[in-house]
A and B are shown apart, each in its own frame.
Chain A
């Protein structure tokens, strides 16, 4: 299997590595930095970031976006999706991109609806006999 060719550039070609091994370490450094920032933000919790944006705290948006960035680099560089043909890339990514946001939207919407019903619609949500 000598014909294995790896694409050695990340960040849209801004960072190029000389060998695949170097790229792996480079990605590890990047993932570690992202995780460190996440943990630091999670411990400090800057008050400005606790405001809400589209129903979710800005801090949580940052966490979610960083997670997706990490997921991208794990699949693209560790799982070698970057080196696959576009057909295979799409076979893997497109079903997930369609189904997961769909599921998320339906269930989270429903969850907050049930919360509102229980919060506003009833005088007390408190059963005395348990």
Chain B
């Protein structure tokens, strides 16, 4: 291949021995091969998620109960609406991207720039939404208790027939216990940040209200979590070890730790792709504004970065299905 200059890049279709079997630009082919390998990476992650889910098929957290937030609607149960909106934002930014590619084919610089800008905004909104989703997931809503075998017990009000957050029934104790830091004792001894509500306070609140019971991680035949009777709950709670609020990589209030692990890993990896896509789009956007492709006489670079952007959208369609719907 000859070194390409600005004027030479017009004829960059890969020859393949003269017959042009693929009839596509070299750079575009390479983008396609990258996309195929990246698709396999993502399918590896999603299949691993499926594996863990099939392995724990009778106790997997219910996504509808986990992702229930919508901006400015506090305390209203809105399962999936927000992710649906995010999906729509990403599909829409895909549309503006393909419109930019189309404008590029007509060598219309201003329209390419305009649509690229819309795409960048859409991508940024999506990454922001994902950050907000993470924040809600990490912060948690109801709180739960972990027992000795590692299971999570969620609290349930038998009278009102709904889940009850721990901060609504705990009885605060006057006894104050501060976090042990390494600057007050032996230098290598410290502990993790204490929960705001202690196990003793939760247990005091539980014993005070006879309507309270717990829900297991296990699902019944209809896919709902099993609710124990008060007596059974008291036996289970005897081995409670800690209060769990929100989610991290080690434990989460929704149930199986693997659920949070896969959520953070897969949506994080996808979010990183969106983020790098936004950066690439910004670079191409600046180049469009500077007239680089105008001088070249073709907007192939917009098409290549567009392929990547659509791929990110495509992956989200699958993540949406397997994390939120199925």
Contacts and interface: CB of A to CB of B under 8 A. Distances in A.
Interface of A: 1, 4, 20-21, 24-25, 27-28, 31-32, 35-36, 38-39, 42-43, 50, 60, 63-64, 66-67, 70-71, 74-75, 77-80, 84-85, 87-88, 91-92, 95-96, 99-100, 103-104, 107-108, 110-112, 114-115, 118-119, 126-130
Interface in B88-130: 88, 91-92, 94-95, 97-99, 101-102, 105, 107
Contacts of B314: 71, 74-75
Contacts of A87: 21-22
Interface string B46-64: 0110111111111000001
B317 A71 contact: yes
Contact of B91 (A28, A43, A103): A28
B210 interface: no
A107 B80 CA distance: 28
A111 B91 contact: no
Contact of B22 (A43, A64, A91, A118): A91
Given A103-B43, A107-B47, A107-B51, 10 more contacts: A60-B325, A64-B326, A78-B313, A84-B24, A85-B24, A100-B43, A108-B50, A111-B50, A111-B52, A130-B148
B166 interface: no
B68 to A, nearest CB: 11
A95 B36 contact: yes
25 contacts: A1-B298, A1-B300, A28-B91, A28-B95, A39-B84, A42-B79, A43-B80, A63-B325, A64-B321, A64-B326, A74-B313, A78-B97, A78-B98, A78-B310, A80-B101, A87-B22, A88-B24, A91-B22, A92-B36, A103-B44, A107-B47, A107-B50, A115-B54, A115-B56, A126-B149
B182 interface: no
Contacts of B320: 67
A130 B149 CA distance: 6
B40 A99 contact: yes
* Interface residue SS majority, chain A: helix
A4 B298 CA distance: 11
Interface string B293-310: 000011110010011001
B318 A79 contact: no
Contact of B325 (A36, A42, A79): A42
Given A1-B298, A100-B40, A130-B148, A88 B92 contact: no
B321 A67 contact: yes
B149 A21 contact: no
The 4 closest A-B pairs by CB, nearest first: A111-B54, A111-B51, A107-B51, A67-B321
Contact of B102 (A21, A27, A74, A75): A21
Nearest to A99: B40
Given A126-B149, A130-B148, A67 B317 contact: yes
Interface string B217-245: 00000110000000000000000010000
B275 interface: no
A88 B20 CA distance: 11
B150 interface: yes
A127 B149 contact: yes
Nearest to B48: A107
Nearest to B147: A130
A130 B250 CA distance: 13
A92 B55 CA distance: 32
A91 B32 contact: yes
Contacts of A100: 39-40, 43, 47
A111 B150 contact: no
Given A35-B88, A88-B24, A79 B311 contact: yes
